[in-house]
Amino acid sequence: MSALGGASFNLVVALLIAPLFEGVMRKLKAVIHSRKGPPITQPYLDLLKLLGKEDIQSGGGAVFRMAPVAVLGAMLLAAMLTPMGGKPPLGMAGDTIVWIYVISLAAVMIVLGAFASGNPFAYEGASREMMMVLSVEPIVIASVVTAGVKAGTLSLGGIIDWQLTHGPTMSMAFAGIAFFLALQANLGRLPFDIVEAESEIVEGPFIEYSGPRLALYKMAFYIRQIVFSFFLVSIFVPWPMVKVYPLAVLISLAKVLVVLLVTGLIECVNPRLRIDQSMNYMSRVLFVALAGLVFAAIGV
């Protein structure tokens, strides 16, 4: 399959299927909360509604206006770099490090947009967003480097190939667990939805955004969920790999669904942590990731 086709496929998955997962998770939460909950299609409806709403601009300025576009753009690019049931379609354009930094480009734009809005709540949110990046990214980096060390390459395709040929290893298991433990924070889910913290700083960075720009942010948020989940399942749990492409995609989607359901479950049963508690937790998870790296270095 050509790179272009793969990329387009990923784009489509990201744009069209990501909200579906969100819908499923909302439903799941509602079930656990003993509520009826919205229909699975509710996220689509939300997005469509927002796109038509009035765009209230309090911050003004180019940075404020362009930030959501850039965030969604970066997320879509990340989606194209992420393997969704096979090789990453844009593998020749970037490896895992590029992937990490494209994700952080999105974070950068969120922070800049928040600054540009000039709202103190947004500043606080931006500050928290930055701290989340600072505490979570090391775990991501450590896990990815573990994979790189095992495979001898940092290219996503190379890592997946290595995983498929060599089977599960201790160090990769550790790295995968660490990545999974950090996933909750990466997805901005409870107990780590510290950045938005609606009840506290009223959506933080997004407080001044409304209408279509908020829709872009929501979209990016949904896409981030599936990008991280796909990354997790294809790097750390690529088995079973079937040669038939559509089947492989379906298997991946199923794995992603499982991952997201687990995170949803966790979200339901935990209250929000403070930012320092969160950093504390992350530093412990980091030890798990580093343990994986040490195992990788000694060849286990």
Partner 1 sequence: MASVSPEQLLLSAFGLFTVGALVSIGGRSWRRTGYTSVAFAAAASVALWILAAGTIVRGETHTRAYLGLGAIGASLTFRIDRLSSVFLLVVPFIGLAALLYSVEYMNHVHRNASARRYYPFALLMLASITGVITTSNLLYFFVFWELMTLTSWALVWFDREDETKVRAAWQYFVATHVAAACMLVAILVIYTRSGSFAFADVSSTVGAMLRTSPALVHVVIALFVIGFATKAGMFPLGGWLPQAYPAAPSPASAAFAGSMTKLGIYGIVRVLFEFFRVQELTTVWGGIIATLGALSIFVGTLTALREDDAKRVLSYHIIGQIGYMLLGVGTAAFFLRSVPALAAVALIAGLYHVVNHACYKSLLFLNVGAAEYQTGTRDLNKMGGLGALMPTTMAAAIIASLSIAGIPPFSGFVSKWLIYQSTIQGGLRVPLFLVFGLVAMFISLVTLASFMKLIGAMFLGKLSTAGKTVTGDVPISMRIPQLVLSAACVLLGVAPILPLLLLYKVAQDVLGSTFVSGYAALFGSNPSGITLRLGNEIVGAWNPAYALAALAICALLAYAISRSAHAPARETASWYGGEEYADDVVRFRAHGFVLPFKQAFAKVYPSVRLPKIQTIGFMQKVLNLDTWLYGPIVNAGSRLTDGLSRTHSGIPHVYMLWQVIGIAVVFAVLFILLK
Can you tell me which of 216, 248, 253, 259 binds partner 1, judged by CB under 8 A?
Answer: 216
d(CA 150, CA 281): 26
Q: CB–CB of 81/99 below 8 Å?
A: yes
| Residues 96-135 close enough to bind partner 1 by CB under 8 A | 97-98, 100-102, 104-105, 108, 111-112, 115-121, 123-124, 126-127, 130-131, 133-135
| Residues 149-168 close enough to bind partner 1 by CB under 8 A | 149, 152-155, 158
Query: CB under 8 A: which stretch of 140-148, 225-233, 237-245, 264-272 binds partner 1?
Result: 140-148
Please provide the size of the chain in residues: 300
| Residues 257-286 close enough to bind partner 1 by CB under 8 A | 275-276, 279
d(CA 223, CA 66): 18
CA dihedral 225, 231, 233, 237 (to 10 degrees): -160
**Contact call for residue 13 and partner 1 (CB under 8 A):** no
**Contact call for residue 6 and partner 1 (CB under 8 A):** no
The alpha carbon of residue 2 and the mean position of all alpha carbons in its chain are separated, in whole angstroms, by 25
H or E element at residue 255: helix 245-269
**Contact call for residue 42 and partner 1 (CB under 8 A):** no
Can you tell me which of 24, 42, 55, 200 binds partner 1, judged by CB under 8 A?
Answer: 55
Can you tell me which of 19, 23, 59, 264 binds partner 1, judged by CB under 8 A?
Answer: 59
Q: CB–CB of 235/205 below 8 Å?
A: no
Q: What are the strands, taking DSSP E only, across 159-205?
A: none
Can you tell me which of 44, 197, 212, 261 binds partner 1, judged by CB under 8 A?
Answer: 212
Q: Which residues contact 97 (CB under 8 A, 6 or more apart)?
A: 144, 154
Cβ at position 268, least distance to partner 1 in Å: 27
Can you tell me which of 53, 166, 258, 287 binds partner 1, judged by CB under 8 A?
Answer: 53
CB nearer to partner 1: pick between 35 and 284 = 284
Q: CB–CB of 245/234 below 8 Å?
A: no
Q: CB–CB of 214/50 below 8 Å?
A: yes
Phi, psi (degrees; rounded to nearest 5) at 17: -95, -25
CA dihedral 219, 223, 226, 205 (to 10 degrees): -80
Cβ at position 37, least distance to partner 1 in Å: 26
Can you tell me which of 28, 76, 183, 253 binds partner 1, judged by CB under 8 A?
Answer: 76
- Smallest CA-to-CA distance from 132 within 154, 103, 99, 175 is with 103
**Contact call for residue 95 and partner 1 (CB under 8 A):** yes
| Residues 222-261 close enough to bind partner 1 by CB under 8 A | none
Q: Binding marks (x or -) toward partner 1, 171..210, rule CB under 8 A?
A: -------------------------------x----xx--
DSSP for residue 205: G
Cβ at position 119, least distance to partner 1 in Å: 5
Structure tokens at 196: 């938005």
CB nearer to partner 1: pick between 135 and 184 = 135
Cβ at position 181, least distance to partner 1 in Å: 17
Query: CB under 8 A: which stretch of 181-189, 212-220, 234-242, 257-265 binds partner 1?
Result: 212-220
CB atoms under 10 Å from CB of 62, counted, come to 8
**Contact call for residue 57 and partner 1 (CB under 8 A):** yes
Q: CB–CB of 65/213 below 8 Å?
A: yes
